[in-house]
Amino acid sequence: MELILFGTGAPPPHKDKNGPANGIFANGKIYLVDAARNVSQQVVKAGFKLSEIDQLFFTHFHSDHYSGFGDFFISRWLTGAKKPLQVWGPPPVKKIVSKMLDYYEYDIDLRVREGTHTRAGTEIEAKSLFPGDGFDVDYMTVSVEKGTVHGNVDEILSYRFDFEEDSIVIASDGHPTEELTRLSHGTNILLAHFCVPHMYDKYGIRNSFSDLVIGHHATAEEISIVAKKAGVKTLVFSHIIPPITSNGEAFEEISKYYDGKIIAGKDLMCIET
């Protein structure tokens, strides 16, 4: 299996970091987790075809995690997908899908009437997921938990993907819960984010919302406790808050608490289990 970091950024556009989105590569197939800004471009840059992605998992619906959804959906169709796209996520996944389809209906009608495309590939099968769910997709097992507490976002999910002997856990945003430790038990890769509060002062960007943002995100210490307790083999970090934090600064922060293997995530990095 491989974890592919399509984007390691956060809500504001950043010169080196695209929006937070990841790929799981297992048994020769690529699966998408979140669909952030520029995800379609990043999938192509990583050497995959949009039309070969048939499954998309959302962790939660803060806009930075789905701002590339519409572009991914329509570009997947325009580049030859014929199968329905399966979209899984917490509520309100069905509502988000339905409104996104409305947004592109005019364009889809134009192209179908012109005869350059058929409607095949424009269907979406949306399915709501809840903590405790588990199911197989192709040859991969997917387990779902509420692994984090993220401000007022009640509907947020962490995912574990198992294929043969390997596994990858994607934690999502927020303070880890006990379920994240259980979900991550013995995993090859835990992908997690954290916040480095003193960067707001270092870079002079503290404002009236900073404490709220800091409060919505994990600390490096919290993530290191999960990684230690769960016995993860490799801890990968991405989506660091505030996004101005360099990978060196984030690495230094997590190294204060964790002495296992750490990889500082960069856009388009592929990490093998």
User: Residue numbers of the site for Zn ion (CB under 5 A)?
Assistant: 62, 173
For the CB of residue 166, give the shortest distance to Zn ion in the complex, in Å.
27
Whichever of 76 and 217 has its CB closer to Zn ion, that residue is 217
Whichever of 12 and 47 has its CB closer to Zn ion, that residue is 12
Q: Give the CA count within 13 Å in the CB-facing half-sphere of 17.
A: 25
Nearest residue to Zn ion, by Cβ distance, number only: 62
Whichever of 173 and 253 has its CB closer to Zn ion, that residue is 173
Structure token pair of residue 270:
């592929």
Whichever of 62 and 76 has its CB closer to Zn ion, that residue is 62
For the CB of residue 181, give the shortest distance to Zn ion in the complex, in Å.
20
For the CB of residue 88, give the shortest distance to Zn ion in the complex, in Å.
17
CA–CA gap between residue 68 and residue 63 (Å, rounded): 9
Q: Give the CA count within 13 Å in the CB-facing half-sphere of 38.
A: 21
Whichever of 46 and 213 has its CB closer to Zn ion, that residue is 213
For the CB of residue 211, give the shortest distance to Zn ion in the complex, in Å.
16
For the CB of residue 250, give the shortest distance to Zn ion in the complex, in Å.
17
CA–CA gap between residue 29 and residue 139 (Å, rounded): 10
CA–CA gap between residue 169 and residue 3 (Å, rounded): 10
CA–CA gap between residue 193 and residue 250 (Å, rounded): 10
Structure token pair of residue 187:
């995993």
